Structure 1
Amino acid sequence: MRLILDKFKEVFFSLAPITLIVVILHFTITPLSPLLLGRFLMGALLILIGLTIFLFGIDIGLYPVGEYIGVQLTETRKISLFVIISAFIGFFISVAEPDLHILARQASDVTAGMLGKNIMVLAVSVGLGFIVSLGLYRIVKSFPLKKFFLISYLVILFLAIFTSKEFIALSFDASGATTGAMTVPFLLALSKSVSTQKGDDLESQADSFGLVGIASSGAIMAVMMLYILSGRPDLSGKLPKAVVSADFWSPFLASLVQSLVEIALAIGPILLIFLLFYWRRRGLSKYQIGRIAKGSIYIYLGLITFMTGVNGGFLDISRMLGQRISEYPPYYAIGLAFLLGLFTVLAEPAVIVLSHQIEDVTGGSVSRPALLVFLSVGVGLSLALSIVRIQTPWLHLWHFLLPGYIISIFIMRFVPDLFVGIAFDSGGVASGPMAATFILAFSQGVANGVPTADVLIDGFGIIAMVAMAPVIALQLLGLLYRKDVRGK
């Protein structure tokens, strides 16, 4: 009971800032009809309940599965088998990621189905599976993490030359969306389990981070390859016309029916892989099996409730607010975006966990307040700059991402290995459920309301900006930590 109450508090404080901002906007400059406001609040309530149950299920069900599979993988003597199994695990955990489904659905809606939801989910998952297998192989063979990231982002830079502006935005958004509430804890458990089998405490501590960041790079490559291999299609986009049903419950019921089957198909293969490992190796008590079974049920029920809230009452209202705020002077949307970034990161459950982890690892040399200030201001500025990009015709996403990642790769040479892994992992951590739902939909609404903006080119890319900010911020903290350690 204590654990589920803790999860409830985490989700509540993550969701509260956005809900409060929407209510304040309703009573000030962007009034909503009682029907729409009611749907938004109901959507927020369902997200609160669903995400709480889901995260509780992750802790008691999925995290132990990740640790168990990691141990069994390291006992696989054939490297080829190790790589193949790792790839399948990465693929299926990505298919089950709710944030990726939300992004893919929005991309499908904006392109009127030209970029199918399932195609994007499968493409990203193939890329993630491939890169996760290489990432785990890197841990086993002690290949330097910095070199791995350098090679990965050089490949991304090369692929970007042949990729359109529309797909560059989608590619980098996919990197943040695919490392969400399902993927991050599983990959962290997997990398921790594999790295601890090596025996070297210092090396295993550094190797336990970095796999989430590696997974993000695989998602970017996958969407770029999808564009290149599909004949470089010319996509255009606009927001679908909102159809407001008079029946309060109809969008929730429609989403519920769709989610029942989709989510079962998404999480089923992960459990099947676990059962295959358990059937061959055993090694778990009846109590542990019981907790994993209960956790899986909680994950399923929580995901259904979460997705029903997102699709039934959250996305459309978020887009509508973005479009309405764009009718005011530009600084309204810029200031609001900064506040959204500031508050959502401060309240993001995974960021809170990460801040404690870094403080412990550095022995207090990097304090939680300093870390949270770096992260929140960094993400707030990245969201504000995203709105400036939407409002300024000559500004493009690559104007921010290219110098941002060049800076990241350059300073990586001077940062301790541990901080490199943490920094790239934190990009996936910061771009959590609120970024994939409200903030992305809000930016699409702003893009739709700005005459010079393109919804597909400018409306996407905001998750990419959120994911990049912590990579730079935490590496800068790593430099300060290194200086502090040398000073002592």
Structure 2
Amino acid sequence: MDLLVDKLKEVLASVLPIIVLVVIISLTMVNVSADMMIRFLIGAVLLILGLTIFLFGVDVGMGPIGDLMGKSVADAPNIWAITGLAFVIGFSVTVAEPDLLILGQQVSDAMGGTLSSAVIVAMVSLGVGFLIAFGIVRILSSFSIKYFFFIAYGLIALMALLVSNDFIAIAFDASGATTGALTTPFILALSAAVSARKGGHMAEEDSFGLVGAMSVGPILAVILLSVITGVSFQGQAEAYRYTEGIVAPFFSAIGHTLLESLMALTPLAILFSFMNWKQFKLKKRELKRIIKGVIYTLIGLVFFLIGVNQGFMDMGRFLGNMLARDYQAWLPVIGLIMGLVIVLAEPAVHVLGDQVETVTGGFIKNKLLLVFLSIGVGLAVSGSLIRILVPSIQIWYYLLPGFLLAICLSFFVDDLFGGIAFDAGGVASGPMTATFILSFAQGAADRIPTADVVTDGFGVIATVAMAPIVMILLLGIIYKWKLKQQEMD
């Protein structure tokens, strides 16, 4: 019970600033209907409740599953068994990720139905599986993470020359969609277990970076899909329809949200059950606790997604549209403030922050990490809105120098910070960003004649995923400088 109360306090501190910001804008700048405001507040309550239960379930159930599977991977008899098992785990926890299912449909629509959402989801999941396998091998072989990402993003840069700017944005957005509320905590636990099993002085440094590695897979997969199929991007957005009613939308969303969440958990549950039968053979008490944790995770995820999708998306879209009409010059400033607070409500961000504090023995506090992440996401959202306002600014103007700077900075920090930084890029672009911020940007783009709703909307998530990497690497440089100052004193 104490753990649940602690999680509730943590969630309230994170989500309340967003609610207060939206209420202030609604009272001072935008005339929001009573129905929409009530839906937003109901969604906020469900979000707080769901996020609290979800984080509790992660601690009780998903973390131990990740630990067990990580040990299983590390104990595999040879490199082929290790990579094969890591691939299966990576694919199974990604193929039904709710965020990825939504993005797959969006991309399919943007392609004019040339490729089905199932093909896109499968291709992205394959990319994740391969990169997690390579990431696990990197950990066990002690290959430096800076060279790993240098090679990975160098390959992305070369392949990006073969596709349009639209596909680059979609590829990076697919990366953000795979690091969702379910996959991220599991992969973090998997990474920590494998590095701990390996042991040695590099164990701490190697415990991060796997989320960053899996984020590379979807980028390469989508670019490769574009090159192989030669499909063209047809950025046509359907007219947006705002939700009607107050309570009814929440009840109507229960069925399909529960189904999506069950689908997300089923592949992992089947894999865990098989591995427990063959290998783990847990005692009934341990197994019962893990099952409870998974159930809590499911319940929390359902509440969270219903609250976000039914209460937040309409509000984000409407505010973006109205502010672009009446306060266009203020959009980047408002986007900066929204980005500063919205990242604090991402479930996976808190999971990463807690694990960073644990692994570093409390030297890197969760709060400090959150401050740097907030600044990075705030700047990213602001920059994305500037791109919507100024049509001559293209997505690669941000992504190319941003990731080039990140790769360069990674050579000036310890591998521990390199791993944390690339993990942070993945966790910052979660369900809150993919709903509220994306909806806000699309609402603004819908109002501005020179902007494209689909193209500019996709680019927001891509930019948000890049900025935290640079910010955490800067934190690593500051940390290294302070350490040298202490040694000199």
Normalising by the residue count of structure 1, what TM-score does the alignment of the two structures yield?
0.92
- 1:424 match: secondary structure: helix
How far apart, CA to CA, are the structure 2 residues paired with 1:99 and 1:52?
Answer: 19
How far apart, CA to CA, are the structure 2 residues paired with 1:370 and 1:257?
Answer: 39
Q: Which amino acid aligns with 2:230?
A: G
How far apart, CA to CA, are the structure 1 residues paired with 2:358 and 2:263?
Answer: 39
Quickly say closer, same or farther: Cα 1:361–1:277, change in 2 above 3 A.
closer
| 1:439 CA displacement | 0.9
Gaps (5+ residues) in structure 2?
Answer: none
Which residue pairs with 2:456 in the alignment? Answer: 458
How far apart, CA to CA, are the structure 1 residues paired with 2:110 and 2:231?
Answer: 18
Which residue pairs with 1:199 in the alignment? Answer: 199
Gaps (5+ residues) in structure 1?
Answer: none
Which residue pairs with 2:409 in the alignment? Answer: 411
- 2:293 match: secondary structure: helix
How far apart, CA to CA, are the structure 2 residues paired with 1:53 and 1:114?
Answer: 39
261-270 or 447-456: bigger deviation:
261-270
Which residue pairs with 1:317 in the alignment? Answer: 315
- Asked whether the 8 Å contact 1:124–1:219 carries over to 2, the reply is yes
| 1:480 CA displacement | 2.4
- 1:95 match: secondary structure: coil
Matches for 1:56-455 after TM superposition, within 5 Å: 56-104=56-104, 106-107=106-107, 116-200=116-200, 202-245=201-244, 247-346=245-344, 348=346, 350-351=348-349, 354=352, 371-455=369-453
Q: Which amino acid aligns with 1:169?
A: A
Identity of aligned residues (%): 45
How far apart, CA to CA, are the structure 1 residues paired with 2:386 and 2:345?
Answer: 24
Quickly say closer, same or farther: Cα 1:367–1:75, change in 2 above 3 A.
closer
Quickly say closer, same or farther: Cα 1:32–1:109, change in 2 above 3 A.
farther
How far apart, CA to CA, are the structure 2 residues paired with 1:447 and 1:317?
Answer: 15
How far apart, CA to CA, are the structure 1 residues paired with 2:180 and 2:35?
Answer: 31
How far apart, CA to CA, are the structure 2 residues paired with 1:392 and 1:192?
Answer: 43
How far apart, CA to CA, are the structure 2 residues paired with 1:413 and 1:155?
Answer: 18
Residue by residue over 1:76-116, the C-alpha shift from the partner in whole angstroms, topping out at 9 and shown as x without a partner, is 11322321221121112123433334444555666776665
| 1:385 CA displacement | 1.0
- Asked whether the 8 Å contact 2:15–2:344 carries over to 1, the reply is no
- Asked whether the 8 Å contact 1:264–1:300 carries over to 2, the reply is yes
| 1:261 CA displacement | 2.5
- 1:232 match: secondary structure: coil
| 1:234 CA displacement | 2.7
Residue by residue over 1:211-235, the C-alpha shift from the partner in whole angstroms, topping out at 9 and shown as x without a partner, is 0110111121122222223323232
Which residue pairs with 1:53 in the alignment? Answer: 53
- 2:230 match: secondary structure: coil
How far apart, CA to CA, are the structure 2 residues paired with 1:370 and 1:74?
Answer: 32
Quickly say closer, same or farther: Cα 1:333–1:115, change in 2 above 3 A.
farther
- Asked whether the 8 Å contact 1:102–1:437 carries over to 2, the reply is no
Quickly say closer, same or farther: Cα 1:240–1:288, change in 2 above 3 A.
farther
| 1:366 CA displacement | 6.0
- Asked whether the 8 Å contact 1:110–1:240 carries over to 2, the reply is no
- Asked whether the 8 Å contact 1:109–1:239 carries over to 2, the reply is no
How far apart, CA to CA, are the structure 1 residues paired with 2:413 and 2:24?
Answer: 42
Which residue pairs with 1:31 in the alignment? Answer: 31
How far apart, CA to CA, are the structure 1 residues paired with 2:362 and 2:289?
Answer: 34
Quickly say closer, same or farther: Cα 1:164–1:197, change in 2 above 3 A.
same
How far apart, CA to CA, are the structure 1 residues paired with 2:64 and 2:190?
Answer: 9
99-108 or 126-135: bigger deviation:
99-108
Q: Which amino acid aligns with 2:14?
A: S
Residue by residue over 1:1-36, the C-alpha shift from the partner in whole angstroms, topping out at 9 and shown as x without a partner, is 112222222333332222222222222221222222
- Asked whether the 8 Å contact 1:166–1:235 carries over to 2, the reply is no
Quickly say closer, same or farther: Cα 1:398–1:19, change in 2 above 3 A.
same
Quickly say closer, same or farther: Cα 1:311–1:483, change in 2 above 3 A.
closer
Q: Which amino acid aligns with 1:42?
A: I
| 1:355 CA displacement | 5.1
- Asked whether the 8 Å contact 1:175–1:428 carries over to 2, the reply is yes
Q: Which amino acid aligns with 1:306?
A: F
- Asked whether the 8 Å contact 2:195–2:207 carries over to 1, the reply is yes
| 1:368 CA displacement | 6.4
Quickly say closer, same or farther: Cα 1:79–1:310, change in 2 above 3 A.
same
How far apart, CA to CA, are the structure 2 residues paired with 1:219 and 1:2?
Answer: 38
How far apart, CA to CA, are the structure 2 residues paired with 1:310 and 1:477?
Answer: 31
How far apart, CA to CA, are the structure 2 residues paired with 1:330 and 1:68?
Answer: 52
Quickly say closer, same or farther: Cα 1:260–1:381, change in 2 above 3 A.
closer
How far apart, CA to CA, are the structure 2 residues paired with 1:300 and 1:368?
Answer: 25
Number of residues paired by the alignment?
A: 486
| 1:410 CA displacement | 1.4
- 1:197 match: secondary structure: helix
Q: Which amino acid aligns with 1:163?
A: V
Residue by residue over 1:321-347, the C-alpha shift from the partner in whole angstroms, topping out at 9 and shown as x without a partner, is 211111023332111101011123356
Residue by residue over 1:297-335, the C-alpha shift from the partner in whole angstroms, topping out at 9 and shown as x without a partner, is 122222222222233332233212211111023332111
- Asked whether the 8 Å contact 1:10–1:347 carries over to 2, the reply is no
- Asked whether the 8 Å contact 2:111–2:233 carries over to 1, the reply is no
Q: Which amino acid aligns with 1:426?
A: A
Quickly say closer, same or farther: Cα 1:135–1:368, change in 2 above 3 A.
closer
Normalising by the residue count of structure 2, what TM-score does the alignment of the two structures yield?
0.92
